[in-house]
Structure formats: C-alpha cells, structure tokens
A and B are shown apart, each in its own frame.
Chain A
Amino acid sequence: MDMLKALVPVEMTLASNIALRYLCRKADQLGIAIQPIHVEEPDHKPHSSETGWIRRSWESGLRQAGLEEVRRILKSERLDCFVLPNPLVRVGAREDELLDELRIGGHDLFVEGEVANFNTGEFRKRLKSKLYRQMPCPALVVRNMIQSDRAALVLDEKTDVELLVNRFRRFFRDPAKADFDLCAYAMDDLQRATHPDELLAEGRRLLKGAGYAPARSFSLLGSPETAAKALHDYGMIVVHLDRKSNRKTPLTEVLGLASSPLLLCW
C-alpha cells in the first residue's frame, strides 16, 4: 500500500508540537509519511538591498537558520514514526509558501496544529483564509492529543456525502480496521431540505458499497454547544465543507467549538 504524504509545518509552538505528536501516533494507522516544512518569514523592515547577492545571501542565511530550527525541534520531539529525511525550508509569507508547496508537491494531506479558541470566529477566519480556501488537498487541524482511535464521520444537509465517503476511504483504507461512527447533525429535524435520517441512509449506502460499516450511526440534534460536547470523545471528526460558501453554518460552529482533531475535506 502506497504511503500518503502529509505536509506538516514545524514550528516552535505548542500547536505545532501537539500536531506532530498526534500525527506520529496516527501515522501507522493512516499510512502517512510526514514531510516537515518550515517557513521563515522575513520581517517587513526595508533591507539594504532587495535584489542581488546581498539578498541571496540573506535568504540563504535565513534558510539555514530555519533548517537548524526544524532539525532541533524534530530531534527534541523524538518522533517514532516515518519522517521524510529532508525538511523543506522556505523563505517568504507563510500562507503563500505553504500553498505553493501544496500545489507543486503533490501532497495528500496538510496537517497543522491549532489551539482551539473559545471565540469560534477565529476558526471561521481560518476557513476563510487563502490557504484553506485554495489548498488542493484535505486538511487535518489538530487541536488536542485525543487517545481514542474512533472517528466520527459527520454529515449535515450541505455535505456532499459521496465526496466525503471517497475522501474518508483514501485515509482509512482498510475497511476492517476503520473504527468510526456515522453522524448526521442538524439544529433540529424540522423543515430540513434533507432530513438527518435520509443523510444517514445515503451515508450508510455509500459506505456499504465500499465495504465499510460504521460501528454506530445516529442523528445529532441540538445547539452547536450540545453537539460539540456529544462529539467530545472522538479521536477525529471528519467532515466535508463547501468552500464556495462564506456562510457561518451550525456545523462550522460545532467544528469551532470541538476539542477533537478535524479532518476537513473539500
């Protein structure tokens, strides 16, 4: 089975530390090789020269410093999973450089840490960022080290269920080992274009066709706060989001409040 390649920013932050530790624990289960990347962001002060060998030397110095930092971090983490030996180091605006690498590098997954914010607006800001709106692969946002291996595949009325099931299969490739529940979320089940039960039926049908069976499937009705609590114990929440829409939805609120790592598919 081919290994999937995950691009993972390595930084000297708590969020990055949590993401690396979590991913390393999941790497075997998901068949993932970690490609570390570090972006050195130059300050915005004017420099003596914007071109020529002075700039090239300055960038080269930054790159070298970045490489040393990544190696130091990776060494201190003592990761016992497969980390590709050559960390990528780039100089420039973080978002642009990561997006560029995701486009040219053929990565299967982008993984980064995020310390969950009580203000869910911060999560919506992330979803609206250029990086998240344009990245060509799914993103795994790691907020905490959750011990559970059980994932929740969460559907709402805007979910493209077929696309989500296909993405899910790509990461959970062995149906016999995929430990997951299927959940349809709505604030209530009144006047919904698609009733939660219909969503579940469609999800189960598509999964069954691919040889997968959820351990449990259930409707989750209630406020985003209630739903986030109900999903509290899952080791990963897997969802599909429509990136064309800027609208705040109950599901994005649930994701903003959740403590579990989020696999965002588009």
Chain B
Amino acid sequence: MKLLVAVDENPYSRYAVGQAARLAANTWADVVMLAVEKSRAYLDEDDLDQEHAHPKTLTLKRYLADFLGSVGPEADIYGPGRDVPFGRRDGDVLEADASGRKGMVLRVRSGNPAKAIAAEARASGSDLVILGSSQHEGGWGRGSDVPGRVADAADCPVFVLRENVVPSKVACCLDHANVTQESLELINQCVTLYGAELEVVGVLRRGELREDVEAKMGEVLGYYLDRDVRALVRVVGEDSLESFIESGGREDLMALWLTRKSPLQKLLPGHRVASLVNHASASILVLR
C-alpha cells in the first residue's frame, strides 16, 4: 500500500500524521509525506540556507519524527529517521529519502495545494491520500477548500480526517455492487483501527434497493457480524443522500464510492463532492 500524507502547519495535519502512522503500522505501507509551498520566483536560494528558503522542509522533518513516534516499536521499518538532507528532484520538487525496509519519502512541491497534492498522488501511484481538516472552515489557505478539491481531483481514494476526532462509526454508502476488494479492505482497516461500528448504507434508486446492492450489503454485513464487529444496515434515498452525509456527526466517518461506474458520481458532481467534503462535520473517505 502506498500512502500519501499531505500536510500543512495546522494542528489537524499533525493529527492526520498520527492517524496515518497508525494505518501504516497496520499495513506496512510505503509513505510519501508532502508539503506544498507557495511559488516564490523572487527568492534567490543562494542567499539563504535551505530551511529558510524552504521552511516546509523543517515542517516535514518534524512530522517525520511525529510519524515514527506514532508507529511505535516497529518504526525501524521506516529507517532511523535521523536528519535527512533534501535535494532537488524533477525541477521544482524537493525530496528527502528517509526509507528503511519500507519507503518513507518527504517531498515539497510548490504551487496550488490541491493541484500539487493531486499531481503527487498520480506521480507516486498512491493508493490513498490522507489529509487533515479543521472542524470548521479554515486552514489550508486559499479559501480553505483544499480537502474537497483534492477529494474531487484525485484518481485514488482520499481520506479527509477531522481534527482530534476518533470515528466511532463508519458509514459506507453503497450504490453499486462493483466495489473493489481493496476498498473493502480500506473500510476494514478503518473499522479495526478505530474499533468503530460499521453502518452499511444502501442508496435507493427511485425508491428501490437494487438487487445486486442488497446482496452486496448482505455480504458485507455477514462478513463483519461473523467477526463480532457491530454492523448495522440502513437505506437512504438518492434524493436524501446529501442530507444524510451532512447529518453525519463529528464522530462519524462517511465512506463514499465515487467511480465512473458509480451512480453516486452522477448524483454528486465534482463541485458537490468538494462542497460536501469541506462542509460536513464527519470525516470523509472517498473511495474509487
């Protein structure tokens, strides 16, 4: 598994790093940690040392220490974590390789944060992008809509974590039966990681639950009940879906499958996804 953890200087990013570390410890994932700085063409780098010219490198080094601390006794799979030097790679990208047996790369890109995160996810073939978000609007600069725009623009799953909340319920909204095993395993990781209950939510189309969706709900439900995980079922009409997601509380994690085959993609065009992600109280996991 390849995780991309996107960070800025706000406390929610530190929280997201801690949660990413827990997930990485469970899955032995390769990790890229990314910070995005403003493009500053006026800056003459020769006049400054690296940490002053690119303060995000310092931020990333601090987050690396946090990450390794949160991984716990198995942190050595990511290398010693000592001060690693940043060097230029592919033009504008600054990179430090802190890998051990598993990959741990720190990168600084410049430009628009949402575009830079999506570009990094594509370039590094990420399986999941993790980024933090504040409880209310704010943070991430540039109008604070970065998490939503990343969720919309990335080709891979995106996990937007609300600050300082441990989800107690994972609600996964199923609108089609072609969900990948990888995405179910990601749900499984969240349920296990947080000791959360699972709510399998079927999306009704014209008031009816499609047979294949119902069968998939039964399959997922049975899987968790057999493992003594508290698992519930619910249905929601397609016209109430946005209200349902918005009604999710701070301690909920809403998982949505958005693929080209997914009717949800038609129900929730890109700008609506971005808006939901930015305004919901719940953490959001967009699966693809």
Report the Cα distance A115→B231, complex, angstroms.
13
Report the Cα distance A145→B234, complex, angstroms.
12
Instruction: Determine the chain B residues whose CB is within 8 A of the CB of A143 once the complex forms.
Output: 232-233
Query: How far in angstroms is the closest Cβ of chain A from B240?
Result: 6
Contact at B235–A118, with CB atoms within 8 Å? Answer: yes
Contact at A118–B237, with CB atoms within 8 Å? Answer: yes
- Within B225-265, which residues are at the interface with A (CB < 8 Å)? 225, 228, 230-237, 240, 243-244, 247
Contact at B218–A259, with CB atoms within 8 Å? Answer: no
Contact at B235–A18, with CB atoms within 8 Å? Answer: no
- Within B186-238, which residues are at the interface with A (CB < 8 Å)? 199, 201-202, 209, 214-215, 217-218, 221, 225, 228, 230-237
Contact at A118–B240, with CB atoms within 8 Å? Answer: yes
Query: How far in angstroms is the closest Cβ of chain A from B251?
Result: 10
Instruction: Determine the chain B residues whose CB is within 8 A of the CB of A146 once the complex forms.
Output: 230
Contact at A17–B237, with CB atoms within 8 Å? Answer: no
**Interface code A118-157, partner B: CB below 8 Å = 1, 0 otherwise?**
1100000000000000000000000111110000000000
When C-beta atoms are compared, the residue in chain B nearest to A117 turns out to be B235
Contact at B233–A18, with CB atoms within 8 Å? Answer: yes
Query: How far in angstroms is the closest Cβ of chain B from A16?
Result: 10
- Within A8-26, which residues are at the interface with B (CB < 8 Å)? 13-14, 17-18
Q: How many residues of B contact A (CB 8 A)?
A: 23
Kindly state whether residue A116 has any CB partner on chain B within 8 Å.
yes
Contact status of A14 and B237, CB under 8 A, knowing A115-B209, A145-B225: no
Contact at B233–A13, with CB atoms within 8 Å? Answer: no
Report the Cα distance A13→B235, complex, angstroms.
14
Report the Cα distance A118→B234, complex, angstroms.
7
When C-beta atoms are compared, the residue in chain B nearest to A113 turns out to be B233
Contact at A117–B225, with CB atoms within 8 Å? Answer: no
Report the Cα distance A116→B232, complex, angstroms.
9
Which residues of chain B have a CB within 8 Å of any CB of chain A? Answer: 199, 201-202, 209, 214-215, 217-218, 221, 225, 228, 230-237, 240, 243-244, 247
